[in-house]
Amino acid sequence: MKFSTYLTQISGVSIYPIISLSMFVVFFVLMIFWMYRLPKKEIERIENLPFDDKK
């Protein structure tokens, strides 16, 4: 009777989690890829932004 069982009875419902899962996987992989391509110098500048207000 778990209430999610009523969800699982919707016809074709499995497409939703598959959409969500596959988009997540794609996104995650792309993101890791971008991250490694960020130039080191730029990273260094950005991560020091919180200290720019020091006189």
CB of 43 to other proteins, least distance (A): 5
Q: What tokens were used for 54?
A: 């020091």
Q: What tokens were used for 34?
A: 């971008």
Q: What sections of the chain are H helices per DSSP?
A: 4-8, 15-37, 40-47
| Binding residue count for other proteins, defined by CB under 8 A | 42
Q: What tokens were used for 47?
A: 């991560």
Interaction mask 18-37, other proteins, x per CB under 8 A: xxxx-xxx-xx--xx-xxxx
Chain residues that interact with other proteins, rule: CB under 8 A: 1, 3-10, 13-14, 16-21, 23-25, 27-28, 31-32, 34-39, 41-43, 45-53
